[in-house]
């Protein structure tokens, strides 16, 4: 892997695109301080320019050049959660190109918990801007083969095997009084509240991050969420079930079990891979995904499922 990382880092330094594993999903990376390189990310993904990117760094020291002013809460959060799946939205410094932040005066930053990603960032000697390495709106990649399937205009793909978390990082914004969650992930509101208070004043405002559009993470096939076990498919031959508890298994023939222990973390790890498998399976026309209780990590899973199913909604 050393050799591959060196080649990939060389690509980043030359302003090219590299797909690489993180702890959450595969990212499509470019030198965050090179606007021409960053523009290639938007082109390769067919991503609209209003959807800002997250910058990945390897060491907390690198954050200073990217942000406007230091906030003591950054260190508290970094000690608790970095390297790891938490992205902080912070006021940006002038060296961060506007194309990275879609013209916003804030920037998303995280340190991923994946040795290949960290070595790549260090070896590249620059912060790396990286969205998930999928076409805009489509299923996120948790394996190198998922990247190859969707993206052709990538200069180098680092294959680090399947990612360990499986869904994207939790995104929070720091406010005067605490934090608000912009995107749910494996790190829950309750986890973060052990470190800093949440901003209860803003809790009911329903703020979400730009680019979090209603239809996202979508397979090319119809996907339906089964909330109450009442769904009756016309032809089970064509249906693929993403099974969590096993309670729907008796109704179907094609089943991918995402959790052995009814553990929402396992659902997260296997969710996108299951969607990719059914998307690629010519026998499958409709995907049914078993709903999960909306608390803790279940919030993040239901968020992904709802966006995946949005364009197929029948009401």
Mark the segment that binds Mg ion (CB under 5 A) among 128-136, 178-186, 219-227, 272-280. Answer: 128-136
Taking CB within 5 to 8 Å according to partner kind, which of Mg ion, ligand TXA, none is near residue 211?
A: ligand TXA
β-strand pairing of 86-91 with 54-56: unpaired
Q: Which is nearer to ligand TXA, 54 or 288 (CB)?
A: 54
Q: Compute the residue count for the chain.
A: 315
Six-digit token string for 231: 């769904």
For the bound state, the minimum distance from the C-beta of residue 216 to Mg ion, rounded and expressed in Å, comes to 7
SS3 content of the chain, % helix, strand, coil (to 5): 35, 20, 45
Six-digit token string for 313: 């909604």
For the bound state, the minimum distance from the C-beta of residue 138 to ligand TXA, rounded and expressed in Å, comes to 11
Point out the residue whose Cβ comes nearest to ligand TXA: 131
Taking CB within 5 to 8 Å according to partner kind, which of ligand TXA, Mg ion, none is near residue 87?
A: ligand TXA
Q: Which of 34, 132, 142, 150 binds Mg ion (CB under 5 A)?
A: 132
Q: Which is nearer to ligand TXA, 132 or 150 (CB)?
A: 132
Q: Which is nearer to Mg ion, 133 or 289 (CB)?
A: 133
Q: Does 150 bind Mg ion (CB under 5 A)?
A: no
Which residues, 6 or more positions from 234, have their beta carbon under 8 angstroms from its beta carbon? none
Q: Which is nearer to Mg ion, 68 or 148 (CB)?
A: 148
Q: Which is nearer to ligand TXA, 27 or 298 (CB)?
A: 27
Which residues, 6 or more positions from 174, have their beta carbon under 8 angstroms from its beta carbon? 71, 73, 88, 89, 90, 196
Cα distances (Å, whole numbers) of residue 75 to 59, 78, 108, 179, 266: 12, 5, 15, 14, 29
For the bound state, the minimum distance from the C-beta of residue 25 to Mg ion, rounded and expressed in Å, comes to 7
Whether the Cβ atoms of residue 14 and residue 130 lie closer than 8 Å to each other: no
Paired residues of 129 in beta bridges: 30, 55
Question: What 8-state DSSP symbol labels residue 217?
Answer: S
Taking CB within 5 to 8 Å according to partner kind, which of Mg ion, ligand TXA, none is near residue 130?
A: ligand TXA
Residues near ligand TXA (CB under 6 A): 22, 24-25, 27, 51-54, 85, 87, 89, 101, 104, 106-108, 112, 130-132, 168-169, 171, 182, 209-212
Q: What is the dihedral of CA 64, 70, 74, 75, to 10 degrees?
A: 80
Q: Which is nearer to ligand TXA, 113 or 243 (CB)?
A: 113
Applying CB under 5 A, the residues found at the interface with Mg ion are 132
């Amino acid at each position: 892997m050393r050799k591959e990382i060196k080649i990939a880092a060389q690509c980043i330094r030359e302003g090219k695109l590299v797909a690489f594993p993180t702890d959450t999903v595969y990212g499509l990376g470019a030198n965050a301080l090179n606007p021409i390189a960053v523009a290639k990310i938007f082109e390769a993904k067919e991503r609209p320019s209003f959807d800002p990117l997250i910058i990945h760094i390897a060491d907390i020291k690198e954050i200073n050049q990217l942000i406007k002013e230091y906030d003591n809460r950054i260190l508290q959060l970094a000690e608790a959660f970095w390297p790891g799946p938490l992205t902080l939205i912070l006021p940006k410094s002038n060296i961060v190109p506007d194309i990275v932040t879609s013209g916003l005066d804030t920037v998303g930053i995280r340190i991923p918990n994946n040795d290949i990603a960290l070595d790549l960032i260090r070896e590249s000697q620059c912060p790396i801007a990286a969205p998930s390495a999928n076409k805009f709106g489509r299923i996120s990649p948790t394996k190198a083969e998922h990247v190859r399937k969707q993206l052709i205009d990538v200069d180098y793909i680092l294959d680090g095997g399947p990612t360990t978390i499986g869904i994207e990082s939790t995104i929070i914004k720091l406010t005067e009084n605490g934090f608000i969650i912009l995107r749910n992930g494996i790190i829950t509101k309750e986890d973060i509240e052990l470190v800093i208070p949440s901003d209860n004043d803003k809790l009911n405002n329903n703020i979400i991050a730009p680019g979090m559009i209603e239809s996202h993470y979508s397979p090319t096939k119809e996907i339906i969420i089964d909330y109450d076990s009442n769904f009756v498919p016309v032809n089970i031959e064509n249906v693929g079930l993403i099974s969590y508890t096993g309670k729907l298994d008796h109704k179907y023939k094609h089943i991918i079990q995402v959790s052995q222990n009814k553990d929402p973390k396992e659902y997260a790890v296997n969710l996108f891979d299951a969607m990719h498998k059914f998307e690629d399976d010519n026998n499958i026309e409709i995907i049914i995904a078993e709903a999960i209780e909306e608390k803790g990590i279940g919030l993040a899973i239901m968020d992904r499922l709802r966006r995946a199913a949005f364009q197929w909604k029948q009401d």
